Amino acid sequence: MIAPTLHTGRLSLRMPRLDDFQHRAAFYGSERSVWEGGPVSRIQAWRIWASEVGQWPLMGYGPFSVEENGVYVGEVGIYHAAEYPEPELGWFVVPEAEGRGIAAEAARAVMAWARDAFGWDEITNIIDAGNARSIALGLRLGGRIDASRPGIDAGDVVIVHDLWALGHDFSSKNRGVAA
């Protein structure tokens, strides 16, 4: 399966391309990746990224590359590695895109797509307890912390999102979804 293309007011979410890897390699090579098990080598970053992109044909979901005016600004999608207890909504933005609401806008579009495409009632975020910015974003997106849900590592914060509580602005007819 190839990812559909989703559109929001200012963003396009599309299937990842090989040239998108350079951004994830830079992320995984930096201290910014500390909440994702990094820093790691470029080879390890490739294995992580390639396995995430490989979810599309295997599972029918995965990461979307996010563009603003045709410029790559990050990745937002549904991740489900072997060690994950369930599908997880995650995000990454390049440093120059931080603090601009891009991850939130893209995450809302992915949540609505997951609801419409799969009929899911909810989706989780699994976040390292030290990653205060991601926890704040998960809560800002309307999620609630559920300490009874398993994470990946001890101490992970699990945030649950009710996908049916999403506003109508992100219904399939308003998102401009194209296959």
- The CATH number that applies at residue 141 is 3.40.630.30
Report the pLDDT value the prediction gives residue 124, as an integer from 0 to 100. Answer: 98
Residue 47 lies in a domain: yes
Residue 113 lies in a domain: yes
d(CA 4, CA 63): 11
* Number of folded domains that form the chain: 1
Residue 122 lies in a domain: yes
Neighbours of 33 (CB within 10 A): 18
- Domain residues for 26? 6-175
pTM of the complete model: 0.91
Residue 1 lies in a domain: no
Neighbours of 92 (CB within 10 A): 21
Report the pLDDT value the prediction gives residue 151, as an integer from 0 to 100. Answer: 96
- Residues for the chain: how many in total? 179
C-alpha distances in Å from residue 144, one per residue of 90, 109, 125, 149, 160? 15, 19, 10, 11, 5
Residue 70 lies in a domain: yes
In angstroms, the first-to-last Cα distance of the chain is: 10
Q: What are the residue ranges in the chain where pLDDT is below 50?
A: 168-179
Report the pLDDT value the prediction gives residue 12, as an integer from 0 to 100. Answer: 98
Residues in contact with 151: Cβ distance below 8 Å, sequence separation at least 6, in sequence order: 85, 126, 157, 158
Residue 136 lies in a domain: yes
Residue 97 lies in a domain: yes
Report the pLDDT value the prediction gives residue 167, as an integer from 0 to 100. Answer: 67
Q: Is it true that the peptide bond before 39 is cis, omega within 30 degrees of 0? A: yes
Which backbone phi and psi does 18 adopt, to 5 degrees? -55, -40
Report the pLDDT value the prediction gives residue 166, as an integer from 0 to 100. Answer: 85
- 3-class secondary structure, 148: coil
Report the pLDDT value the prediction gives residue 174, as an integer from 0 to 100. Answer: 38
